[in-house]
Amino acid sequence: MVGQRFLQALTEAAPGRYRVTVIAEEPRPAYDRVRLSSWFTGTTADELTLCPPDFAEEHGIGLRLGDPAATVDRSARTVTTRSGHTVRYDVLVLATGSSPFVPPVPGHDTPGCFVYRTLDDLEAIRERAGRATAGAVVGGGLLGLEAAGALRALGLRTHVVEHAPRLMALQVDDGGGSTLRRRIEELGVAVHTGAGAKAVEAGPDGTVARMLLANGETLDTQLIVFAAGVRPRDELARAARLPVGERGGIVVDAHCRTADPRILAIGECARAADGRVHGLVAPGYAMAEAAAAGLTGKDGGFTGTHTATRLKLLGVDVASIGDAHGTDGALEVLYADSRAGVYKKLLVSPEGRLLGAVLVGDTAAYDLLRALAADGTPLTTPPEHLVLPPTAGSAPPGPAALPDDAVVCSCHNVRKAAITSAVTEDGCADVTAVKKLTRAGTGCGSCVKAVTCLVDDALAATGAPVPDQGLCPHFRHSRAELFEIVRVKGITSFARLLDEHGNGLEGCEICKPAVASILASLAPQLTGGGHILDGEQAALQDTNDHFLANLQRNGSYSVVPRVPAGEITPEKLIVIGEIARDFGLYTKITGAQRIDMFGATVDQLPAIWRRLVDAGFESGHAYGKALRTVKSCVGSTWCRYGVQDSVALAIELELRYRGLRSPHKLKAAVSGCARECAEARGKDFGVIATAAGWNLYVGGNGGTDPRHARLLLTDAGHATLIRTIDRFLMFYIRTADRLERTAPWLERLPGGLDHLREVIVDDSLGICAELDALMARHTETYEDEWRATLEDPERLRRFVSFVNAPGTPDPAVRFVPERGQIRPAPVGVAS
């Protein structure tokens, strides 16, 4: 990454001045290691590349891939590669990065042991995971927790082994480490701190079978990832007799020059002028730019950087800024909410300067805190306002409160003044233009939100129109606008939508699932179908959709087969009972007339669903933003008050709309008479029988702010009722905001219920034919997601390790008995 950034800076500053040859160990050009783990969830190697296809040819750069440098001859000014090829140089730039540190424990080289550094490493890990049931990561730092997340996503029982007394020992303090550990253990990952690896033992097949810990524990595991740190790759410099640091790293000055002025070193292989080896991308980029500036006669140097990191580890937001542990005289400002899993600590000097911060569970203030810490001037607002929730104190200041010289984009060292100047002086009218001019937000993308706020403020100050806020910092469009863009342009991938209509590198937790829902809703229209776990779609899903099951608080999953209208045969009841008994699941009849089975581990999901599918069940979509159920009373078939067959209609509606992805979950009900036993008016759409037909109610929801549904149609016939519900659902899916239930959507809709009636009954907008076609295509192309998953070996790769070991208990998922069944065990309680 750092080498590629150097090439970009050099070719921008002095195009054509140097003839450049790149000698690389890996068989592919530079790619994004920051997003390496996204490869496990569908991001391709091409999508990770940092080297545009025509970049090398355009700038006359020679790429020698898969043939690493072996020796450097300083007197002859040549580099000889492993294959024996020799390249002469006038200037040599070493950007060899770092190598993973593997503790010298006995058995560390047993087949089944890996490091977590390259795409080739990840391919080997995934291949091994298909023949394993459990995996262990040695190292509880940033990379170790990222690796643990990957193993868990591959379906393995996962252990994290950390020699230090807490996770992320360098970045967070005891309080933050404790909160982080609790959040991770709740996800079913077993954490072992204060316990280093003692030995790796092989099984009868000669591959990894278990790992012994220094505290006496034994972990049964068939896959081990060593992520215990890195070491600078300075061996070329050592052999060439260039000075290196006592603990490694090629010694360089502020312009990244070594003791030999013709040789430079940048990135993780270098010991910078501040005496440190920097292992993050932002300082690496800064060194690359400093080196390019020195070679092209421009000002600029690198003497150090303010350390800051923000990551989502196993779904938990974590950030560390500056001094996380406190220096002599530092004052602490602490906010903690153990129930919500949130921990925030600021370290402030007696003079009021922000020295550092630790954030776990809520990193919304990261951009502001990072810039304030880097600025180094006394705070102008009480520090507690920077960590307290808005309801507990004054609202925290935004990026506008930053001084002009505060660094907003640390990847490219872009200051606030440069961003505002791009608007006020250079005429940039939106974030895209500002990013193109300044490069702010084009690195890791974590500053896009702050950049967006600054651009909006600058536009407002000049009197220019401020674009709508849109879905998130990566999309200026609302969800409804994105729906239309996808539909009209036939876009079938998030990557294309982001490239053509968004900002940033890979989106965020807001836009990814929202776009995934849009793509899933329109997949039948755009591609003739499309499974939720196919290709890029899998990478956009949250944990529930990723495994087609609902994650529970102790890391187990619930299994919810569809039972249309609550009608079920004795044979199917017996199947559910037998499955619950055989797999030891907790069973509950829900208020939505379904039978839920709780306590399944990921390894059991395919086996459970195979039996359910064979018995005629299909996915109940309890995990998705989709139709959940259509509840029903027994209607005129059995009830002496019933006036219509509510069961038959409820089954028809549930089977018609099953699998329909929407902005939020959908619930419905059909009551066979005005006594309303199915509680239809508390649903997103509800139908109540009359002597002359059906009354249709829409926009009713439960939850924290219950609403009664409102009457849309009276005494409707069957065909009119179905057609109107079709249009209601498709119009909602087309125009609602992300995670917006039908009740607030209807309240927000201009003209409310009257406008809705005009649109979907009277066709005032002339779109009813489109809505009808969208629903018709959905019903024609529906397939059960679990049946399709079981029939496709590629989709089953995420579950294959468990199919090979059905019923294997997961020690990280613990239960205790209660009322003749099981329930999740409290943290720290053994089964």
pLDDT tier at 114, thresholds 50, 70, 90: very high
The tokens for 340 are: 């919500």
Q: Closest Cα partner for 785 from 455, 587, 562?
A: 562
Length of the chain (residues): 831
Mean pLDDT over 157-172 rounds to 89
pLDDT at 667 over 90: yes
DSSP-based three-state secondary structure for 730? helix
How many C-beta atoms surround the C-beta of residue 640 within 10 A?
6
pLDDT at 806 over 50: no
pLDDT in tens, 26-45: 999 999 888 888 787 767 88
pLDDT at 803 over 60: no
C-alpha torsion sign, points 383, 388, 390, 392: negative
Alpha helix locations (H) across 376-447? 416-424, 431-438
Contacts of 755 (CB under 8 A, 6+ apart): 749
pLDDT tier at 23, thresholds 50, 70, 90: very high
∠ CA 164-170-176, nearest 5°, is 85
Top-confidence residue, 308 or 800: 308
Contacts of 198 (CB under 8 A, 6+ apart): 105, 212, 213, 214
Domains, the chain, with CATH or none: 2-97+232-295 (3.50.50.60), 102-228 (3.50.50.60), 307-397 (3.30.390.30), 398-462 (1.10.10.1100), 479-541 (no CATH), 542-624+793-823 (no CATH), 625-783 (3.30.413.10)
How many C-beta atoms surround the C-beta of residue 414 within 10 A?
24
The tokens for 802 are: 């468990």
Q: Closest Cα partner for 672 from 715, 632, 709?
A: 632
The DSSP code for 626 is: B
> Nearest 5°: phi and psi at 504?
100, 180
Q: How far apart are CA 108 and CA 197, in angstroms?
A: 10
Can you list the pairs that 178-183 forms with residues at least 24 positions away whose Cβ atoms lie under 8 Å?
Answer: 178/343, 179/336, 179/338, 179/341, 179/342, 179/343, 179/360, 179/361, 180/313, 180/316, 180/318, 180/343, 180/360, 182/338, 182/341, 182/827, 183/314, 183/316, 183/341, 183/360, 183/361
Q: Closest Cα partner for 593 from 563, 560, 624, 636?
A: 563
Q: Which of 97-101, 315-319, 592-596, 680-684 has the lowest mean pLDDT?
A: 315-319
Mean pLDDT over 619-643 rounds to 92
Q: How far apart are CA 593 and CA 729, in angstroms?
A: 22
pLDDT at 70 over 90: yes
pLDDT in tens, 648-658: 999 999 999 99
How many C-beta atoms surround the C-beta of residue 33 within 10 A?
16
The tokens for 813 are: 């998922």
Top-confidence residue, 349 or 93: 93
The helix or strand, by DSSP H or E, that contains position 219, with its residue range, turns out to be: strand 218-220
How many C-beta atoms surround the C-beta of residue 665 within 10 A?
17
DSSP-based three-state secondary structure for 48? helix
Alpha helix locations (H) across 348-478? 366-375, 416-424, 431-438, 448-462
Q: Please, are residues 156 and 150 in contact by the beta-carbon 8 Å criterion?
A: no
Alpha helix locations (H) across 130-205? 142-153, 174-186
The tokens for 716 are: 């409707």
Mean pLDDT over 284-311 rounds to 84
pLDDT at 488 over 70: yes
Q: What pLDDT shows up at residue 801? A: 38
The tokens for 766 are: 């002339």
Contacts of 665 (CB under 8 A, 6+ apart): 624, 625, 626, 627, 628, 741
Top-confidence range, 147-161, 301-315, 456-470, 491-505 = 147-161
> Nearest 5°: phi and psi at 53?
-55, -35
pLDDT at 392 over 50: no
Mean pLDDT over 314-339 rounds to 79
pLDDT at 264 over 90: yes
Q: How far apart are CA 199 and CA 226, in angstroms?
A: 13
The tokens for 389 are: 């929730």
Q: What pLDDT shows up at residue 362? A: 84
Q: How far apart are CA 809 and CA 133, in angstroms?
A: 10
How many C-beta atoms surround the C-beta of residue 808 within 10 A?
16
pLDDT at 541 over 50: yes
The tokens for 575 are: 């199947």
Residues facing residue 251 across a β-bridge: 271
Q: How far apart are CA 119 and CA 510, in angstroms?
A: 27
pLDDT at 603 over 70: yes
Q: Please, are residues 306 and 346 in contact by the beta-carbon 8 Å criterion?
A: no
> In the structure, how many helices (H) and strands (E) does the chain have?
27, 37
What mean pLDDT, rounded, does the chain reach?
Answer: 87
Q: What pLDDT shows up at residue 590? A: 86
pLDDT at 203 over 50: yes
Top-confidence residue, 831 or 80: 80
- Residue 216, judged by CB atoms within 10 A of its CB (0-12, 13-18, 19+), counts as exposed
Q: What pLDDT shows up at residue 146? A: 86
pLDDT at 542 over 90: no
The DSSP code for 41 is: G
Model-level pTM greater than 0.75?
no
pLDDT in tens, 677-711: 999 999 999 999 999 999 999 999 876 678 899 99
Helix 431-438 / helix 416-424 crossing angle, nearest 10 deg? 120
Q: How far apart are CA 82 and CA 161, in angstroms?
A: 36
pLDDT tier at 643, thresholds 50, 70, 90: very high
The tokens for 60 are: 């006359």
CB contact burial 776-802 (16+ within 10 A = b; e otherwise):
ebbeeebebbbbbbbeeeebbbbbbbb
Mean pLDDT over 268-288 rounds to 89
Mean pLDDT over 528-554 rounds to 69
Mean pLDDT over 300-319 rounds to 74
Q: What pLDDT shows up at residue 538? A: 61
Q: What pLDDT shows up at residue 393? A: 44
Sheet with 223-226, strands from edge to edge, namely: 113-115, 223-226, 134-138, 157-162, 190-193
CA-to-CA separations, 566 to 534, 620, 654, 703, in angstroms, rounded: 31, 12, 10, 22
Q: What pLDDT shows up at residue 240? A: 96
Q: Please, are residues 156 and 132 in contact by the beta-carbon 8 Å criterion?
A: yes
Q: What pLDDT shows up at residue 728? A: 97
DSSP-based three-state secondary structure for 113? strand
